[in-house]
Amino acid sequence: MAFAKISQTAYYVPEQIVTNDDLSKIMDTSDEWISSRTGIKERRISRNQETSELATEVAKQLLAKSGSQPEELDFIIVATISPDSMMPTTAARVQANIGATNAFAYDLTAACSGFIFSLSTAEKLIKSGAYQKGIVIGAEVLSKTLDWSDRRTAVLFGDGAGGVLLETSEKEHFLAESLNTDGSRSDSLRSGKSGLNSPYSESSEDAPFMTMDGRAIFDFAIRDVASSIKELLETSGISGDDLDYTLLHQANIRILDKMAKKIGIERDKFLANMMSYGNTSAASVPILLAESVENGIIRLDGSQTVLLSGFGGGLTWGSLIVKI
């Protein structure tokens, strides 16, 4: 029986830093409002790089760090809600950019849960025995999806990419998972609507920009995501004490605080970096993971147990407990 393990991590963010004070020069907001409500101090905003270029930088790092050749890759999955285009996919562009000629590649769209859903899928690909090595990346240039005249959303998001290399292992590393969707509550978070447009259709007035009912999403995270994590811990027999770290989607520091209390996991075990990058949707968990490996907090030696969790548009939410 084949198992999968995360053997390398990497992240890449655009150079340009935009602070809360920078934003207050172009819209009616303040560092005080943004940091007290969200914990975010600054974010990276792409000047000229597309989503596939950020993802390609991650893929190149993963290959270099592991000493792998691009031809060894069996698959590339990119989780994104801000692709360069619907076709070709961002993953197909990455495949071409790095010369992974033997890899099939596709995008997976599940908003801020995209990386978690993709990693779960990739693990099953390897577990099937049919594939041995693949890359899973979360990559976003959300700055192009935002309505920059809407201070309620524009201040929250940032651009970036993170990813992992998955390989076969003799031991089980993916201990438990819970993946969920509730499409009936999709109205509270929307982006990228493409309306009907043909000689036979009525025209649509929908705006393509990100819209969010912040309060509804906040409550959803505290209620549904927290209960689902609690249930996952109960059903898997893994307790909060067994976890070394929890890497939650980086949307808001207050969500982390409340979630820690609700689930009953020590707050110190929740890693956070939204202060530096804002909410990068599908990229947030892999950027946090890769940065934690870079800082030596996570060792990638199979000795730590971490919970990875994403939640957002769809509505979608999902968690994986991984021996890493």
Applying CB under 6 A, which of residues 79, 111, 116, 248 lies at the interface with ligand ACO? 111
Applying CB under 6 A, which of residues 217, 247, 271, 289 lies at the interface with ligand ACO? 217
Structure tokens at 110: 């599940």
Please give the Cα distance from 139 to 52 (Å, whole number).
Answer: 8
- Shortest distance in whole angstroms from residue 34 CB to ligand ACO: 6
25 binds ligand ACO (CB under 6 A): no
CB of 171 or CB of 215, closer to ligand ACO: 215
- Shortest distance in whole angstroms from residue 32 CB to ligand ACO: 9
Phi/psi class of residue 129: alpha, beta or left (left: φ > 0; alpha: ψ in -120 to 50)?
Answer: left
| Entry field: residues in the chain | 324
Choosing from 112, 173, 252, 273, the catalytic residue is 112
Examine residue 14 and say whether the peptide bond preceding it is cis (omega within 30 degrees of 0). Answer: no
Q: Which of residues 171-190 bind ligand ACO (CB under 6 A)?
A: 189
Cα 159–Cα 43–Cα 308 angle in degrees, nearest 5: 65
281 binds ligand ACO (CB under 6 A): yes
Q: How far is CA 267 from the centre of its chain?
A: 21
158 binds ligand ACO (CB under 6 A): no
37 binds ligand ACO (CB under 6 A): yes
Please give the Cα distance from 323 to 321 (Å, whole number).
Answer: 7
Phi, psi (degrees; rounded to nearest 5) at 245:
-145, 155
Binding region for ligand ACO (CB under 6 A) out of 54-62, 178-186, 215-223, 230-238: 215-223
Please give the Cα distance from 240 to 232 (Å, whole number).
Answer: 11
282 binds ligand ACO (CB under 6 A): no
Write each residue from 63 to 82 as x if it is in contact with ligand ACO (CB under 6 A), else as -, in one continuous string: --------------------
Residue 173 is a catalytic residue:
no
Please give the Cα distance from 148 to 286 (Å, whole number).
Answer: 26
Write each residue from 291 to 320 as x if it is in contact with ligand ACO (CB under 6 A), else as -, in one continuous string: ---------------------xx-------
- Measured CA distances, 230 to 120, 173, 235, 265, 319 (Å): 19, 20, 9, 10, 11
247 binds ligand ACO (CB under 6 A): no
The closest alpha carbon to 52, from 141, 143, 142, 165, belongs to 141
Please give the Cα distance from 138 to 283 (Å, whole number).
Answer: 4
Applying CB under 6 A, which of residues 137, 164, 221, 271 lies at the interface with ligand ACO? 221
Applying CB under 6 A, which of residues 7, 8, 9, 38 lies at the interface with ligand ACO? 38
Active site (catalytic) residues: 112, 249, 279
